[in-house]
A and B are shown apart, each in its own frame.
Chain A
Amino acid sequence: MAELKLIDIKKSYGAATIIHGVDLAIADGEFVVFVGPSGCGKSTLLRIIAGLEQVSGGEIRIDGQSVTNVAASDRGLAMVFQSYALYPHMSVYKNMAFALENMSLNRTEIDQRVRRAAQMLQLTDYLDRKPKALSGGQRQRVAIGRAIVRDPKIFLFDEPLSNLDAELRVATRKELAALHGEIGGTMIYVTHDQVEAMTLADRIVVLRAGRIEQVGTPLEVYNHPANLFVAGFIGSPRMNLLPARLAGSGQVVIGNDTRPISVPSTGQAASGGNITLGARPEHIDVVDENQADLTITVNLVEQLGGETYLYGSAPGLPELTVRQDGQARYDRNHRVGLRLKREALHLFDADGNAIRIR
């Protein structure tokens, strides 16, 4: 286990800058998830930490020691690749033992470590099999086992579940969470799947275009998104982001409406200024039109059994999504009144930064 510090990390390929000066400290034993859309630089950042990519600027420290110019093989880290990257001609046992042989451990020690990891990952029955004779989930477990046996300073995971089907992804996600609880190592995990980020992370690092947009615990990031990007990216279905303007202290007018609605506070934002109001689908209630903040025409209803999603439109506003518990019945093209839960609203200024209202 180890702590990691990234100081002003930059990465460029020719004229294209991929990582723009990232600063981040990861504590010993922490499970940190890098999340962001495709091309945001999360995998590049992970590969920089691994030593598989050289930095263009900045410093990487592990346990206070600079490893910026240390080769990947000498950093003492282990990585689980998206493609698993198992050695196809070796058995599961050999795949896990390979790194230990490189460490010149004696056979008894290697055998003990491999069998312990295999037991932990329920791979004992498959030790003699080649990777091609395993299912996707089993291969993923072998890749994890190959990392575990080395007892690395930090585990790095590069989208390890993205090649698995939905059901297996959920199961493996739980296993990973349990594994972190069991072995307790420092883990850095890259994903574009926010559900993985929310469920696995001690802290989430949201990245966009090579910059950190926000760092925080999953609920901090969910409840208090730092800006419009994070608000839109974290949460599924995504947060409703509605154009609005301030109509005096604690008063906001949505879209083309004239009726102001009151919010707890509008911070330092100037009256009359354009802002964006954010409301998560679960923070909108369906009410009578005379009590409503706004009225939508229902475009689509999705019944998921345990919950219902309404998609509707209102003049001058983007499509709204509303989540209802249970099996709510609505018809297409019907008008429905909506009321926003005041205590859960988010306001963003004209630059897209959050106005702290709570």
Chain B
Amino acid sequence: MTGLQRLIGERRMPYVFLLPNLVFFGLFVFVPIAINFVYSVTGGPALFPSERPYVAADQYSYLFDCGSYVDPNTCREDHFWRGVYNTLFFSLFQVLAMVGLSLLTAVVLNMKIRGRGFFRAVYFFPVLLSPVVVALIWKWILQRDGLLNAAITGFGGDRILFLTEPGWAMFWAIFVSVWAHMGFYTLILLAGLQAIPSDIYEAAEMDATPRWRVFWRLTLPLLWPNLIVVIVLSLIRAVQTFDEVFVLTGGGPGTSTLMVVQYIYETAFSNQVQNFGLAAAASVVLGIVLFALTLAQLAFTQRKSS
């Protein structure tokens, strides 16, 4: 290593250490991104880029060809727009529920309650499970002859079609996603809560501050940097949602829980006519949204650390 350093100079040495990782990262991330972009500006069923005719922005035009963007029925590629609206709806309520429940759980787990360590482990446990396993567990619970319906009918109630009625299906998709991931966000918020010095709360107590005011005026503002991270991270994850919902509902009933990523997957690989170009264009659009969200997260994180 000393000989190499003498040869190329000390300033270039860090790049030598970065090189192995950069090669793999480039091969499996940057090259596919570039290939994906090439696919998005080419057409036809051929798999090899060299065999695909250049179509410029036709795929994008096709995706965005809508009579009215608020009504997917007026769009040429209505499935894409149904996926977009489902993903927006899913992301909005999933993030709201995720942040609210994670915050509530973190606040409770930060209190001096009996069995605190046990509960912290319990809430984190689902994070360790594979999304497919999570979805399968809940599918067994929620399907027509599942555990929940067995309990309901056992108590004399009527079966509810949890996964085949559009409203219920979206509700459970959000619920299962929150259940599976809230442990991670709870952990981030718990760390934030524990970083607030206890003497600030004692000072507030001496200042005769009501508990609700302690929460709103002290805890929440002091936890805000962590909350921002949780909001942005959970939003990024919600926009990317695929596996859990796909296994749980298959995007149905109809297209009522079809997400953008599922649309991309099906357009490229699952439909009878595999349209790589259109799927790649949708991927680029989704990638731009995720990139913007990631930039926002980085900006907030940097502001926090400064």
Residues of A at the B interface (CB closer than 8 Å) are 50-52, 71-74, 77-79, 81, 83, 85-89, 98-99, 102-103, 146, 150
- Nearest chain A residue, comparing its CB with the CB of B217: A98
Cα A50 to Cα B206 in complex, Å, equals: 8
Interface size class of B (residues with CB under 8 A): 10 to 19
Cα A51 to Cα B205 in complex, Å, equals: 9
Map CB proximity to A onto B168-211 as digits: 1 under 8 Å, 0 otherwise: 00000000000000000000000000000101101111111110
Q: Which 3 A-B pairs have the closest CB atoms?
A: A99-B207, A85-B203, A73-B208
Cα A51 to Cα B199 in complex, Å, equals: 13
18 contacts between A and B (CB under 8 A): A52-B206, A72-B202, A72-B205, A73-B205, A79-B202, A79-B203, A81-B202, A81-B203, A83-B197, A83-B199, A87-B204, A87-B218, A88-B200, A89-B222, A98-B209, A102-B213, A146-B203, A146-B207
Given that A85-B200, A89-B222 are known contacts, is A98 also in contact with B207, CB under 8 Å in the complex? yes
**Residue with the greatest number of chain B CB neighbours at <10 A, chosen from A51, A83, A86, A87:** A87
In the assembled complex, the CB of A20 is this many whole angstroms from the nearest CB of chain B, namely: 25
**Binding site secondary structure of chain B:** helix
Point out the residues of chain A lying under 8 angstroms from B221, CB to CB: 89
Cα A320 to Cα B204 in complex, Å, equals: 49
Point out the residues of chain A lying under 8 angstroms from B197, CB to CB: 83, 85
In the assembled complex, the CB of A319 is this many whole angstroms from the nearest CB of chain B, namely: 40
In chain B between 201 and 235, which residues have their CB closer than 8 angstroms to a CB of chain A? 202-210, 213, 217-218, 221-222
Cβ of A78 and Cβ of B206 under 8 Å apart? yes
Point out the residues of chain A lying under 8 angstroms from B210, CB to CB: 102
Cα A85 to Cα B200 in complex, Å, equals: 5
Residues of B at the A interface (CB closer than 8 Å) are 197, 199-200, 202-210, 213, 217-218, 221-222
Cα A71 to Cα B205 in complex, Å, equals: 9
Point out the residues of chain B lying under 8 angstroms from A51, CB to CB: 205
Point out the residues of chain A lying under 8 angstroms from B206, CB to CB: 50, 52, 72-73, 77-79, 99
Cα A87 to Cα B203 in complex, Å, equals: 9
Cβ of B199 and Cβ of A85 under 8 Å apart? yes
Cβ of A85 and Cβ of B209 under 8 Å apart? no
Cβ of A102 and Cβ of B208 under 8 Å apart? yes
In the assembled complex, the CB of A57 is this many whole angstroms from the nearest CB of chain B, namely: 22
Point out the residues of chain B lying under 8 angstroms from A86, CB to CB: 203
Cα A257 to Cα B222 in complex, Å, equals: 67
Cα A168 to Cα B197 in complex, Å, equals: 25
In the assembled complex, the CB of A217 is this many whole angstroms from the nearest CB of chain B, namely: 29
Cα A282 to Cα B241 in complex, Å, equals: 80
Point out the residues of chain A lying under 8 angstroms from B213, CB to CB: 102
Cβ of B202 and Cβ of A99 under 8 Å apart? no
In the assembled complex, the CB of B88 is this many whole angstroms from the nearest CB of chain A, namely: 32
In the assembled complex, the CB of A121 is this many whole angstroms from the nearest CB of chain B, namely: 17
Cβ of B200 and Cβ of A102 under 8 Å apart? no
Cα A78 to Cα B202 in complex, Å, equals: 11
Cα A52 to Cα B203 in complex, Å, equals: 10
**Residue with the greatest number of chain B CB neighbours at <10 A, chosen from A71, A99, A103:** A99
Given that A81-B203, A85-B199, A87-B200 are known contacts, is A99 also in contact with B218, CB under 8 Å in the complex? no
Point out the residues of chain B lying under 8 angstroms from A52, CB to CB: 202, 205-206
Cβ of A88 and Cβ of B209 under 8 Å apart? no
Cα A231 to Cα B217 in complex, Å, equals: 48
Point out the residues of chain B lying under 8 angstroms from A81, CB to CB: 199, 202-203
In the assembled complex, the CB of B187 is this many whole angstroms from the nearest CB of chain A, namely: 23
Taking A102-B207, A146-B207 as known contacts, 15 extra A-B pairs with beta carbons closer than 8 A to each other, sorted by chain A number, are: A52-B202, A71-B205, A72-B202, A73-B207, A78-B206, A79-B203, A88-B222, A89-B222, A98-B204, A98-B217, A99-B209, A102-B208, A102-B210, A102-B213, A103-B208
